[in-house]
């Protein structure tokens, strides 16, 4: 049954299992704490927990929308372009003295479509995937 599976699969399985065990243990402790500290019923504490989890998941989305709206162009910032898409700052040369493009690791950059995955538009010799 376990033949042919990569060795790392077992590590990933037990790491994921441990993470889930810890998460659901903390959820139950949180619910019990709310019930004991504030005298809430099971239904009330479940409602408080659902509001808490909804807020945790919604805040990154709300923060991203606010950040996009606060920029003058209505699009992600230059920091986003340089660090997420690995684009060089405005006015930077396309290649350095070795012929390497700034922001790229150099290994395998000549593969078709590789630059497109890093946010570059397709160009000559760079076909999209």
For 109-129, the pLDDT digits (tens) are 454 444 444 555 555 555 544
Neighbours of 40 (CB within 10 A): 15
Sign of the Cα pseudo-torsion (78, 76, 123, 118, in order) = positive
Please list the ranges in the chain whose pLDDT falls under 50: 106-109, 111-117, 128-129
pTM for the structure as a whole: 0.45
Phi–psi pair at 126, nearest 5 degrees: -125, 90
pLDDT of residue 16: 95
């Amino acid at each position: 049954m376990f033949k042919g599976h990569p060795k790392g699969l077992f590590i990933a399985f037990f790491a994921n299992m441990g993470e889930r065990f810890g998460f659901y243990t903390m959820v139950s402790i949180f619910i019990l704490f709310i019930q004991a500290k504030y005298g809430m019923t099971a239904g009330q504490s479940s409602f408080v927990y659902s509001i808490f989890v909804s807020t945790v998941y919604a805040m990154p989305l709300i923060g991203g929308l606010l950040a996009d709206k606060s920029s003058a162009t209505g699009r992600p910032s230059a920091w986003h372009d340089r660090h997420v898409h690995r684009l060089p700052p405005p006015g930077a040369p396309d290649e350095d003295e070795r012929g390497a493009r700034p922001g790229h690791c150099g290994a395998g950059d000549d593969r078709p479509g590789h630059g497109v995955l890093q946010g570059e538009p397709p160009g000559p010799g760079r076909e999209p995937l």
